Structure 1
């Protein structure tokens, strides 16, 4: 574990968020860390390399947190709710000033980070579907590839579409309702029984 590299990345995300990806310079980062620019360049070849590593680390960390959260779920149905309910784990599904600057000034890095996050998210959804089929909770003949895209699209809509909040229910109720509908569309009788048990308790 490279402690200095982690310090640089942590400081960078702090400055990128507070000041902006475009405005922050290598000089500012080294000054804030009381670190020489030489040390900075020993760990990163330049600002673009630092940006890429910083956002990549953010994505990897959030996905790892989510994986740890779902690891001890009693069943696949509950795991699916956890994956889809909290879209705070997926920073590149939201819109904010930091990502706006990244998209406009470093479009190649932005696309690379979107792709990384999408692949990791889709991998979690795919694993859940495979395990659900193995446990008899999801129908075995569903098209796995299309189902992954189907669930991913839902996650994306929930993250960016403000219109869902206009149904006069709080955001959590809206999410739970749509997740329940999605799971019902692929669940077996056994899966629906587990789903209804989970919904009644939550």
Structure 2
């Protein structure tokens, strides 16, 4: 039952936001009493915390699986983007921003976990990209990996990038093209153009 609550709560939080979804909403969707939810989670904050950890683990596992495929570093970036966008419902409810605003402690904990995972993932991608000739060997991997993480976080701030002006998918596509063009060799640019031409 705990997993069923987490799966349904995740879906609702991503679609409607952490603030607007109530315990009653979740109970009604699952077809259980609110009391049943409280047997597993003391309050909504505990449920939000467990839900963000659950989503983080699902996405981290998915990213690990994509990285294990050993595709070209540029293909890998687009595959990860596609996977995360599908699992985060294109972030149409600005879940990260709501989490930061209404549950700041949970947000900071999640951000730390995300940074550790993304730093490893991006560093490996950059290192492999240089080795395989897709990225320039003059790039500063430490600098770019940190810049990449913080840029991704910034894209999800609706005050800077209002989603009524441009979709999250378009934002991500624009940023990935910007990122890859900035670090690529001619081989990397050719690979990127091939991907963009088939989208």
TM-score (norm 1): 0.65
Partner of 1:33: 32
Change (3 A) 1:83 1:164: farther
Match of residue 134 from structure 2? 137
Query: Which stretch has the larger CA shift, 5-14 or 15-24?
Result: 15-24
Report the alpha carbon displacement of residue 12 of structure 1 after superposing the two structures with TM: 3.4
1:9 counterpart residue number: 6
Cα separation, 2, equivalents of 1:35 and 1:181: 47
**Greater Cα shift, 114-123 or 16-25:** 16-25
Residue 184 of structure 1: how far off its partner (Å): 2.9
In structure 2, C-alpha distance between the alignment counterparts of 1:81 and 1:14, rounded to whole Å:
23
The residue matched to 2:46 in structure 1 has which SS?
A: helix
5+ residue gaps, structure 1: none
Compared CA separation, residues 115 and 96, structure 1 to 2 (3 A): farther
Deviations 1:67-86 (A, max 9, x none): 44454364112112333567
Tell me how many residue pairs correspond in the alignment.
192
- Structure 1 residues 21 and 201: alpha-carbon distance in aligned structure 2, compared to 1, 3 A threshold: closer
TM superposition shift of 1:128: 0.9
Residue of structure 2 equivalent to 1:55:
52
**Residue 63 of structure 1 contacts residue 120 of structure 1 at CA under 8 Å; is this kept in 2?**
yes
- Aligned: 1:24 with 2:61: no
Change (3 A) 1:110 1:178: closer
Taking structure 2 as the reference length, the TM-score comes to 0.66
Give the unaligned 5+ runs of structure 2: none
Note the C-alpha offset of 1:132: 1.2
Contact 2:73/2:125 (<8 A) preserved: yes
Contact 2:96 2:156 in 1 (8 A): no
Aligned residue among 124, 143, 156 for 1:146: 143
Deviation at 1:148, TM superposition (A): 0.9
Given that residues 15 and 24 in structure 1 are in contact (C-alpha distance below 8 angstroms), is that contact kept between their aligned partners in structure 2? no
Whole-angstrom CA distance in 2 between matches of 1:67 and 1:135: 20
CA contact (8 A) 1:137 1:191 kept: yes
Report the alpha carbon displacement of residue 125 of structure 1 after superposing the two structures with TM: 1.8
Q: Tell which structure's C-alpha radius of gyration is larger.
A: 1
> Is residue 2:111 matched to residue 1:114?
yes
